[in-house]
Amino acid sequence: MHTLTAIIKLTLIEFVRRRIPLVMGLFFLVMVYAIPYIVIGDGTVKGNFQLILTYTLGFTTFFLAVFNMFLSVNVLRKDWRDKVLFVLDSKPVARYQVLLGKFIGLCILNAFLLAIVYGFTLFNINSLERDYQKQASLNKHLDLMPGDLSDAKATVLSARSPLKPLLNKMIVKYQKERKKTISIKSGKWFHWQFKPEEVSKDVKSYTLRYKFYTSSTTDTYKVRATWIIGNPTKDGGFIRLITNNSVNLYHELKIPAKLFKKDEILQVSLGNFNKDSILVKIKDGLVVLVQDRSFTFNLLIAFVILFIQVIFLAAIGLSFSTCLSSNVSLLCVLAFYVLLLSGGIVKDLTHSKILPKEQPTISAFDKGYNLYTKSLASVVSVMLPDYVELSPMDQISRGVTIGGSFLLFNVVGIGLRLLLVLCFACIVFATRELGLIQDIS
């Protein structure tokens, strides 16, 4: 342990000597500070907050990924070039300790940079909030309507967990038919039912979030919908609303807390009085959001997930550098990162059917080829987590709580792959002949 600690310390000293923390820290400070000024939003308070969060997380993820690609494939190359590894190899230091020391040093450096971005992001949010409060009190912002700031704080600067609808007969039927959307025809109604596990007295209202799809190809198409929320047969009453919303966008409605009662089911009914059918996704198409966590803690969890993702990329670059030249390693880790951002293409190949239904008879060669393709895609998908699906950006920008299962899936899913990559790198590095310096540099 003392040897590993010494290598970590030497790695960090080398980073400081090369001014990497200073340069990258200043770069991220300038980037986060400049985002509200260089990126133009929709002009609304809610949109500006979403813009800051979305672009901050997006730019941070991209630039940290590029930074780790270059640094991870060169962190060992410099020690090879300066003959430091030859000196360490003559001492009672295991090679895996050298590799782990370099990797932990990279992890500490990434944690430092993400801490800077996290702190300055909160500073940006608080500064913008104070500016809006000051403008509202002085009536200097002509576009700032009463309630805009409170609405933005309730919908974006919050952490609300989704309360998914109960499974009724219709939803079960759609799931058995493997359909992803619920189709509500013109003049028809569809009913969802919600039952909260615990009704808190501190919650004044709940939020109904929904998104519509139609057969219309234009995003400007608006859907006129009639809502009945509550139980008309119960004493708590109900509310009736008519909305006129654009398709392909998330919209929200406030639900009074008095409609939610302990051990009772809340019914949400949607009536379609348009000429086209309304499509609602079964998963995340219509949910009730409940405030259960502070925005600061929710943003912290998002940065923890980003940290796990970038150190996995650093481990990939470090493993490539143990057996390939720096240029080839950089190309390999770049290709790997592109696959990580592929949006689940490999996953779709993995879950595709081997034998298509339209071909009842298939040759032995085609059958073997399909089986080989599916097997190869399955093996590759083991090492390729879908970074688009695992990104916390969407939850943060919509004020949705990053659940424990989502965090656990990132930690366990990427963590196991990380351990596998490090084990492979340690084995390769331990058997590598250091005298073949020309093969590495």
Q: What is the pLDDT of residues 409-436, one digit of tens each?
A: 888 888 888 999 999 888 888 887 665 5
Given a contact cutoff of 8 angstroms between Cβ atoms, the answer to whether 247 and 223 are in contact is yes
Q: Note whether 276 and 325 are same-domain residues.
A: no
CA atoms of 278 and 272, how far apart (whole Å): 7
Is the pLDDT assigned to residue 441 strictly greater than 50? no
Domain presence at residue 148: no
Q: Note whether 306 and 414 are same-domain residues.
A: yes
Domain presence at residue 308: yes
Is the pLDDT assigned to residue 111 strictly greater than 90? yes
Mean pLDDT of 34-41: 78
Look up the CATH number of the domain holding residue 201.
2.60.120.260
Among 18, 98, 28, smallest CA distance to 62 is for 28
pLDDT of residue 440: 44
How many separate domains does the chain show? 2
Is the pLDDT assigned to residue 396 strictly greater than 70? yes
Using a CB cutoff of 8 Å and minimum separation of 24, what contacts does 17-26 make?
Answer: 20/71, 20/109, 21/109, 21/112, 21/113, 24/67, 24/113, 25/112, 25/113, 25/116
Among 223, 203, 225, 352, smallest CA distance to 292 is for 203
CA atoms of 400 and 302, how far apart (whole Å): 11
Q: Note whether 95 and 201 are same-domain residues.
A: no
Domain presence at residue 393: no
The token pair that represents 438 in the structure block: 């020309």
Domain boundary among 238, 256, 281: 281
Given a contact cutoff of 8 angstroms between Cβ atoms, the answer to whether 254 and 207 are in contact is yes
Domain presence at residue 147: no
Q: Note whether 204 and 317 are same-domain residues.
A: no
Domain presence at residue 384: no
Sheet holding 250-256, edge to edge: 159-163, 286-293, 205-211, 250-256
pLDDT of residue 130: 81
| Mean pLDDT over the full length of the chain | 78
Q: Note whether 272 and 186 are same-domain residues.
A: yes
Q: Note whether 299 and 435 are same-domain residues.
A: yes
CA atoms of 243 and 286, how far apart (whole Å): 15
- Residue 238 domain boundaries: 181-281
Q: Note whether 13 and 97 are same-domain residues.
A: yes
Domain presence at residue 416: yes
Given a contact cutoff of 8 angstroms between Cβ atoms, the answer to whether 195 and 226 are in contact is no
Domain presence at residue 99: yes
Given a contact cutoff of 8 angstroms between Cβ atoms, the answer to whether 314 and 107 are in contact is yes
Q: Note whether 259 and 316 are same-domain residues.
A: no
Task: Quickly state the pLDDT bin for 310 (edges 50, 70, 90).
Answer: very high
Position 123: which residue type?
Answer: F
Is the pLDDT assigned to residue 132 strictly greater than 60? yes
CA atoms of 201 and 140, how far apart (whole Å): 37
Q: Note whether 92 and 191 are same-domain residues.
A: no
Q: Note whether 112 and 201 are same-domain residues.
A: no
CA atoms of 279 and 326, how far apart (whole Å): 51
Task: Quickly state the pLDDT bin for 129 (edges 50, 70, 90).
Answer: confident
pLDDT of residue 312: 92
Given a contact cutoff of 8 angstroms between Cβ atoms, the answer to whether 333 and 316 are in contact is yes
Domain presence at residue 383: no
pTM of the model: 0.77
According to DSSP, the β-strands at 286-293 and 159-163 are antiparallel
Task: Quickly state the pLDDT bin for 27 (edges 50, 70, 90).
Answer: very high
CA atoms of 377 and 384, how far apart (whole Å): 10
The token pair that represents 116 in the structure block: 């800077």
- Residue 174: other Cβ atoms inside 10 A: 15
Given a contact cutoff of 8 angstroms between Cβ atoms, the answer to whether 389 and 283 are in contact is no
